[in-house]
């Protein structure tokens, strides 16, 4: 049976192709833990089915989705600080996922699961409406050239999809060091009628305190300002 084409988002990827390798130890950890802690957003027959997060985590808890988790520095520290939340980290690159998986194993962090693939696929097919307490998107690829702006993840269609997947009171938290992209994200978030802008000082159901990553330190050293952008899904 042929699956219908998605109508929620164009099939334009928001990530760059790159080669990466993992160490022998990371591969051993991957072989041991990925079947339990990992999933793929797409398989040979198309997109993955809807996730049963209660079964996957072995408990019922609010779910936070992080799109583009990189090597997992923020993912790991924020999950450790909020053990009452189930965290699903999405990343395209296997090396980053392998690094996070090894850190999970080394530090014994039980509340993280991993998905390899495109964040839009995950939002469209693996989660339903009102299913997420939070969505985090930290330092997505800015695609700075104008002809590539269509590849930016946080565009109106994806922000609308995130708003649909957030439960009332749920939070979208984005961060970027690219001023042009920050402006676009702000415009998209403010234009989405189901979202309202909030600040870190507002009472929110998830933490918005991020650890400072090596990438962010380099950006700050180069004089780049970091934009923190927050919205809450309206109750009605």
Q: Please give the Cα distance from 118 to 14 (Å, whole number).
A: 8
The H helix count followed by the E strand count for the chain is 8, 10
Q: Is residue 130 marked as binding? A: no
Give bridge partners of residue 89 from the DSSP assignment.
66, 114
Helices (H), the chain: 24-37, 53-57, 73-81, 94-107, 119-121, 156-165, 179-191, 214-221
Q: Is residue 91 marked as binding? A: yes
Q: Please give the Cα distance from 213 to 211 (Å, whole number).
A: 6
Which of 140, 139, 134, 172 is CA-nearest to residue 153? 140
Q: Is residue 216 marked as binding? A: yes
User: How many other C-beta atoms can be found within 10 angstroms of the C-beta atom of residue 149?
Assistant: 14
Q: Is residue 202 marked as binding? A: no
Q: Is residue 54 marked as binding? A: no
Rg of the chain over all Cα atoms, to the nearest angstrom: 17
User: How many other C-beta atoms can be found within 10 angstroms of the C-beta atom of residue 196?
Assistant: 15
Residues recognised as catalytic: 141
Within the chain, what is the greatest distance between any pair of CA atoms? 53
Do 115 and 90 meet the contact criterion of CB atoms below 8 Å apart? Answer: yes
Q: Is residue 66 marked as binding? A: yes
Residue 112 CA from chain centroid, whole number: 12
Q: Is residue 181 marked as binding? A: no
Q: Is residue 124 marked as binding? A: no
Residues 6+ apart with CB under 8 A from 213: 70, 73, 74, 139
Query: Known binding site: residues?
Result: 66, 91, 118, 141, 145, 177, 213-216
Query: Known binding site for S-adenosyl-L-methionine: residues?
Result: 66, 91, 118, 141
Query: Known binding site for substrate: residues?
Result: 145, 177, 213-216
């Amino acid at each position: 049976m042929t699956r219908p084409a998605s109508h929620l988002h164009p099939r334009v990827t928001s990530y760059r192709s790159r080669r990466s390798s993992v160490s022998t130890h990371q591969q051993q950890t991957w072989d041991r833990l990925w079947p339990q802690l990992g999933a793929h957003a797409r398989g040979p027959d198309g997109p993955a089915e809807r996730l049963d997060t209660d079964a996957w985590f072995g408990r019922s808890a609010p779910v936070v989705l992080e799109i583009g988790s990189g090597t997992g520095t923020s993912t790991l520290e924020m999950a450790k600080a909020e053990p009452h939340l189930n965290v699903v980290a999405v990343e395209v690159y296997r090396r980053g996922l392998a690094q996070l998986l090894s850190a999970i194993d080394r530090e014994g962090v039980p509340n993280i699961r991993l998905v390899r693939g495109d964040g839009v696929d995950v939002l469209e097919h693996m989660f339903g409406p009102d299913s997420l307490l939070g969505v985090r998107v930290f330092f997505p690829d800015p695609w700075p050239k104008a002809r590539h702006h269509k590849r930016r993840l946080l565009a109106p269609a994806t922000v609308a999809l995130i708003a649909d997947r957030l439960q009332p009171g749920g939070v979208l938290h984005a961060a970027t060091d690219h001023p042009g992209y920050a402006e676009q994200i702000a415009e998209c978030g403010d234009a989405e009628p189901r979202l309202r802008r909030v600040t870190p000082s507002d009472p929110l159901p998830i933490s918005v305190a991020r650890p400072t990553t090596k990438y962010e330190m380099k950006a700050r050293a180069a004089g780049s300002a970091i934009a923190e952008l927050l919205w809450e899904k309206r109750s009605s």
